[in-house]
Amino acid sequence: MTQIALVTGAAQGLGLAIASRLFAAGYAVVITDLSPERAQAAAQGLDASGERVLALKLDVGSKADFEAALAATLARFGALHVVVNNAAMTMATPVMQISPDEFDRVMSLNTRSVFVGCQVFGAHMAKAGYGRIVNMASLAGQNGGTATGAHYAASKGAIVTLTKIFAKELAAGGVTVNAIAPGPIDSPMVHSVVSAERMPGMLANIPVGRLGDADFLGDLIVQLARPEAYFTTGATWDVNGGLFMR
């Protein structure tokens, strides 16, 4: 039976790379995005036949949207086995210039999306007796961030903690919950935050001397999504070129 995977923020960038690797591994993929037009375009690019792909609008700030996405996925494919909570807001405002409203906006979107995603999709999976959830954290949540803002870094640190909480909560239902904490990846998001002038300096500080590969992150998620990965839960997987070691 084909397994079903849903990825948030999957219309472009890292989310699309993740969705593409899951699709290549044989999954039917639900591509969700705030923009239904972008989601549909990404789905068409992945599978023009539409047989193994579904595009949905999903505002990750809305619990009702998560519930609607679950219902639409079940109506189309009859099941949901894998969820990747990838959508996030990235801002690089200097810490002393972040307004309380901006702080709340970034923290709320990035942490609430993972919390509600684990809550809504996790409850369904636990009831079904099987599931795999992967939350996208960040190196910034471990080392305080360098290129990104304090609010982004704080939200990603919170995601590591939420991953542990839901891993404990859902384990008895056959659901694993893990996080991946990437360092700087060769992706549109990183290039939008780090200018071409600053890039050589950043690369010089990465022990391996280069940006990470988005497809590798997708392949790591494919591994964590396997049924055989039942003994791995509550973990944060570091993919950072040696920038953070523990």
Please name each of the domains of the chain with its CATH number: 4-239 (3.40.50.720)
pLDDT, tens only, 8-18: 999 999 999 99
In sequence order, the 6+-apart residues with CB closer than 8 A to the CB of 168 are 234
Return the minimum-mean-pLDDT range out of 43-57, 78-92, 137-151: 137-151
Give the mean model confidence (pLDDT) for residues 177-191.
89
Q: What percent of the chain has pLDDT over 90?
A: 86
Which H helix or E strand runs over 133? Answer: strand 131-136
pLDDT for residue 192 is more than 90: no
pLDDT at 186: 87
pLDDT, tens only, 124-161: 999 999 999 999 999 999 998 777 889 999 999 999 99
pLDDT for residue 21 is more than 80: yes
pLDDT at 202: 84
Q: For the chain, how many helices (H) and strands (E)? A: 9, 7
pLDDT, tens only, 102-124: 999 999 999 999 999 999 999 99
pLDDT for residue 189 is more than 80: no
pLDDT band at 26 (very low <50, low <70, confident <90, very high): very high
Establish whether 152 is a catalytic residue. Answer: yes
pLDDT at 214: 94
pLDDT at 66: 98
Could you give the C-alpha distances from 198 to 75, 182, 194, 206, in angstroms and in order?
47, 19, 6, 13
The three-state secondary structure class of 122 is: helix
pLDDT, tens only, 61-80: 999 999 999 999 999 999 99
Q: What is the mean pLDDT of the chain?
A: 95
Q: Which two tokens stand for residue 161?
A: 């903690």
Taking residue 81's Cβ as centre, other Cβ atoms within 10 Å add up to: 21
pLDDT for residue 208 is more than 80: yes
Sole residue written with tokens 């995977």: 5
Q: What is the DSSP string of 188-233?
A: HHHHHHS-TTTHHHHHHHSTTSSPBPHHHHHHHHHHHTSGGGGG--
Give the mean model confidence (pLDDT) for residues 173-186.
95
Of 27, 130, 152, 230, the catalytic one is: 152
pLDDT at 100: 96
pLDDT at 139: 94
pLDDT for residue 232 is more than 90: yes
Flag whether the pTM goes above 0.85. yes
pLDDT at 199: 86
